[in-house]
Amino acid sequence: MLVPQFKMWIGVVESRADPENLGRCKVRVLGYHTANTVTLPTKDLPWATVMMPVTSASMSGVSETPALLPGSTVVGFFADGDDEQNPVILGSLPGIPVERIEDPTVGFSDPNGKFPRTEEDVGYNDLNEPDLSRLARGASAEKHASLVQKREKRATGIPTAKAPSVKTVAEDISSADYSSGSWDEPHPRFGSTATGTYSDPGTVPTFGEGTTSVYPFNKVTETESGHVFEVDDTPGNGRIHEYHNSGSFYEIQADGTKVTKIVGDEYEIVIGGKNVSITGGCNVTIKGDCKLLVEGDMYEEIRMERDANGKPTGKGGNKFTHIEGSHHTKIQGNSVVEIGTGMSVNVTEDYGMRVGKTTSITNVGSYTQTVGDGFNMTVTGGYNLTSTGNMSMTTLQSYNLTSLLNMTQTAVGNYRASGTSMSLLGIAQQKLVGGAAQLLETGGIQTINAGYQKTTAGARSITTGITQHTGMYSITGQLTATSVFTVTGVGLATHKHIAISLGKPTTPSIP
């Protein structure tokens, strides 16, 4: 194969607007082309093909894109030998620019007047400064725009959740955190400290703790708009960093800590499953709304700490929820709750519960209900209250029990109802049964009212200031009464007294 004589050259890129989109550049070659852009305008320069590295296949889209800019100094050769019409670019040459030519009639420079940069481009390479990125040149990195911006925007004092104290019904748990803590975004590059250690240019570098980005171990790719890619191979302080010019970035620091910061929104779409394992703690702080939609089943399990054998240690396993606003829950199916030990609830203001159908409450042990103010219970159908042991209902003021139909109160043992004022009302029938003794007592007025009343007990005592009976009244058993009896709407003949033993009632006497 006939190979033409290679002729090497050095030139400056003046245009990259290749109409064929092949990555070619217009190059003004030193010693071949005049610097006068009027005599030889940029458009008349030959297109130079860019030679790509072996890491780029350069075919069918499997390739890398040339990143040369107008103003780049390049080296190449003429592929057609003495004809000198087919320049090929082998690579670019960095240097230390000392001036920027802004006269558009002078070639061998960036015709757009952007490169090389000057001090007006704050945070980026200036004149009389090596073309290599500041991020790759040790302490010079401290003046790079990406590092300056990351330090200025570093998030600190991010609050964490805390456990609510509910001493009104339960004591605090000793292992719980009842004080809100906070955490800070790690420092860029160095993690726990704001600055690290750099080696002076031209000296033998040291690789102690905190040393990072030692030249020439940090490989940096910086684009014209400010995107940055770093692979830092500093011994003992390896680091990977990817930075977007908006300020979004991720960085894997020397100890393996990964910091991800997104200036805008983040979208993550997983078509298959996703598994996440966190060995340590997890803090999530959301300063806006949070919505969670699950179209399948949702499982939440809060377990105690486990030892090496997987057995519970007795630590942890608690759940704390603190809601400063309202809590609304709607369950369209069933709600099943099992509580292994006790349950305590404190409602500062009103409490309401509506049950569309049947309510069933089974209390195996004692049951205590205390009402500080009024207590009203309305039953439109049947009402059954059964206690196999003792049952006590106490009110410091009035007690009213009303049934729109029948009302039956039965005690296998003693039955006692007492209060300052007492009213027993049954719209249709009223039945009071005490298997042993029955005592109705009040300090004020006692009213027993029903269309038909029946009281049954082995022994009975009615003690009050005034007792009023309304309706048909049937008494079975021994009656001891100490009271003034007033019968409303019926005569004494309507009362049937069987085996009555009078005490010392005031008038009128009971026949």
Residue 147: φ, ψ to 5° = -70, -40
Residue the block writes with tokens 């009023």: 468
Q: Is the pLDDT of residue 511 over 50?
A: no
- Residue range(s) defining the domain that contains residue 47: 1-131
Nearest to 243 by CA among 163, 201, 188: 188
pLDDT of residue 494: 41
Nearest to 222 by CA among 113, 132, 101: 132
pLDDT of residue 36: 94
What tokens were used for 287?
A: 């300063």
Neighbours of 335 (CB within 10 A): 6
110 and 9 in a common domain: yes
pLDDT of residue 365: 77
The reply to whether 365 falls in a domain is no
Q: Is the pLDDT of residue 304 over 90?
A: no
Provide the CATH number for the domain around residue 15: 2.40.50.260
480 and 406 in a common domain: yes
pLDDT of residue 253: 92
47-58 tens-digit pLDDT: 999 999 998 988
Query: To the nearest whole number, what is the mean pLDDT of the chain?
Result: 82
8 Å CB contact between 418 and 424:
no
**Boundary (domain end) residue, out of 266, 282, 307:** 266
Peptide bond into 116 cis (omega under 30): yes
Distance CA 203, CA 275 (A): 48
The reply to whether 174 falls in a domain is no
The residues, any chain, with a CB within 8 Å of residue 412's CB and separated by 6 or more, are 435
404: burial class by Cβ within 10 Å (0-12, 13-18, 19+)?
middle
The three-point CA angle 223-228-232 to 5° equals 130
Q: Is the pLDDT of residue 495 over 50?
A: no
Q: Is the pLDDT of residue 506 over 70?
A: no
Report the SS3 class of residue 204: coil
Q: Is the pLDDT of residue 281 over 80?
A: yes
Residue the block writes with tokens 């026949």: 511
- Per-residue burial over 187-226, b if 16 or more Cβ lie within 10 Å, else e, is bbbbbeeeebbbbeeeeebeeeebbbbbbebbebebeeeb
51: burial class by Cβ within 10 Å (0-12, 13-18, 19+)?
middle
219-247 tens-digit pLDDT: 999 999 999 999 999 888 889 999 999 99
What tokens were used for 83?
A: 């004809």
The reply to whether 418 falls in a domain is yes
Name the band, by pLDDT with cuts 50, 70 and 90, for residue 505: very low
Number of domains in the chain: 3
pLDDT of residue 491: 41
1 and 75 in a common domain: yes
125 and 5 in a common domain: yes
207 and 122 in a common domain: no
